[in-house]
Amino acid sequence: MKKTHFLVSMLALAFFSSCQNGDENDNENLRKEEVHAKTVNVTNHDGRPFSTGSGSAAGKFVSGPGGGVLMQGFYWDVPEGGNWWNTVKDKLTAWSDSGIGAVWLPPASKAQNGAYSMGYDPTDYYDFGNFNQNGSVETRFGSRTELEALITKAHAENMQVYADIVINHNSGGQSQANPFTGTNTWTDFSGVASGKFQRSYNDFYKNSYGNNDEGAFGGFPDLCHANPYVQDWLWGRDDSVGKYYKNVMKFDGWRFDYVKGFGPWVVNNWNSNVGGFSVGELWDSNVNTLEWWANNANSSVFDFAAYYKMDEAFDNGNLNVLNDDMMWKRNPYKAVTFVANHDTDVINNKMPAYAYILTHEGYPTIFYRDYEEWLNKERLNNLIWIHNNKATGTTSILYTDTDEYIARRNGYNGNPGLVVYINNSSSWQERWVETNWSSQQIKDFTGNSGWYPTTQGDKWVKVQAPPNSYSIWSLNQ
């Protein structure tokens, strides 16, 4: 959720918110002294949380050995006017062609601020722009028909669609007398236009179930997940929010907003009853906390530990911190990595950060504005292709200093893996490294280096990286 773009009203609490290959036979002892290898023992991760395509026609996503990537299909304050679903739908074929296997959409249901809301102030979970309430029929993003057309088009491209789910708090209820507070509270949702999941004061804290749960947000009515009625409507009933999104609207997975506000058991129960991919927004750089939550929620989690380490590494000139612990090192199956999102965009030197997450383990996310507006799309597509086709196997960190970082993906199931070399210095750098390959020619798949070296019989080879950039090496095949 956007943490800084809300205006709260008394009535509504609304959101506005290159040298050829002659060097490879250099003295073996010299080059082994140059490279200090450090191996990170992390679990092998070669799939992604969506099915592998098989023999589909051009224009449809097909998962490669390294899987695919996730596109965050929005940013904060996308244009108003109800055309966002059409904007995203029109980009799906190009995204699919580029190797993007899933898209994460903003909260899709009607919210307190109607046609102006980014959706993080939900009122009626079953109104996808088809009921006239909160001042509009359509949401900021468009109509239900347009949303359904987007999802249908994504599935035709073999892509998955993830819904942003906001179940910590609600907004847009009417005032009612609340015996648990002794005041009036904005907790009467009996008049929601869909007629589904009507709520009253006992469905929010404080109430007969207690005074509070793990956390409230911004003064909004705090949904009480301890109430069996709330549980039933969120994930239990055949027409519960989760099952309706999955079975009727055809969403494939979930991004849970502000999971600090309720226990991980909530997401665990949703996943057990509804299914689908899930990832939680636990805004915390402590990897122990991230791992604890992911395990207890039976869910992936955004790797904020990696996010802040990348900022320190690439913006503050200390690549040594990439040796530190991160969620993808703890459990890559449950780590969703990212460089920016709609809430936070602190990394300025983004291309090496994308080179990092698209060559390492975890499930990498591309931010819409980085891809469509701000960065070099051709370079990003190159990294996505490398990720999907070469980024396999466990990870070994081969060398780090302040300005240089070299790591190896060790390959898996016949796929050769890769070596990534990130150079934060202002000049070309070269290093001898131990690869996965004996007496074979390799190349830099980014095209940044013109070298085509042949590895020695013991798998060692010299590679290079350009200033303030990166190179990614694998078998020349």
Superfamily, domain 18-41+394-477 = Golgi alpha-mannosidase II (2.60.40.1180)
Q: What residues are labeled active site?
A: 257, 281
- The Cα diameter of the chain in Å comes to 83
- Name 57's Cβ contacts closer than 8 Å, sequence gap at least 6: none
Q: If pLDDT is split at 50, 70 and 90, which confidence band does 3 have?
A: very low
The reply to whether 53-106+141-167+225-392 shares the fold of 18-41+394-477 is no
Using the predicted structure, report yes or no on whether residue 256 has a pLDDT greater than 80.
Answer: yes
pLDDT at 214: 96
- Specify which residues 466 forms β-bridges with: none
Distance CA 84, CA 149 (A): 12
Global pTM reads 0.90
Residue boundaries of the structural domains of the chain? 18-41+394-477, 53-106+141-167+225-392
- Give the residue ranges of the annotated binding site for Ca(2+): 168, 232, 238
pLDDT at 59: 66
Stretch 403-410: mean pLDDT, rounded? 98
Using the predicted structure, report yes or no on whether residue 257 has a pLDDT greater than 70.
Answer: yes
Q: Do 235 and 269 contact (CB within 8 A), yes or no?
A: yes
Q: If pLDDT is split at 50, 70 and 90, which confidence band does 95 have?
A: very high
Q: Which stretch of 47-56, 83-92, 224-233, 450-459 has the lowest confidence by average pLDDT?
A: 47-56
Q: If pLDDT is split at 50, 70 and 90, which confidence band does 168 have?
A: very high
Q: If pLDDT is split at 50, 70 and 90, which confidence band does 173 have?
A: very high
Q: What are phi and psi for residue 186, nearest 5 degrees?
A: -90, 65
Distance CA 456, CA 454 (A): 7
Q: Does the domain spanning 53-106+141-167+225-392 belong to CATH 3.30.590.10?
A: no
Q: Do 443 and 474 contact (CB within 8 A), yes or no?
A: yes
For the beta carbon of residue 79, count every other beta carbon within 10 angstroms: 10
Distance CA 452, CA 21 (A): 6
Q: Do 423 and 403 contact (CB within 8 A), yes or no?
A: yes
pLDDT at 234: 98
pLDDT at 188: 98
Q: Which stretch of 36-45, 189-198, 218-227, 464-473 has the lowest confidence by average pLDDT?
A: 36-45
Give 184-190's long-range contacts (Cβ < 8 A, gap of 24+): 185/221, 186/11, 186/12, 186/13, 186/221, 187/221, 189/123, 189/124
Q: If pLDDT is split at 50, 70 and 90, which confidence band does 32 have?
A: very low
Distance CA 17, CA 92 (A): 27
Using the predicted structure, report yes or no on whether residue 88 has a pLDDT greater than 80.
Answer: yes
For the beta carbon of residue 359, count every other beta carbon within 10 angstroms: 26
pLDDT at 408: 98
Q: Do 438 and 457 contact (CB within 8 A), yes or no?
A: yes
pLDDT at 261: 98
**How far from chain centre, in Å, is Cα 308?**
15
- Give the residue ranges of the annotated binding site: 168, 232, 238
pLDDT at 58: 56
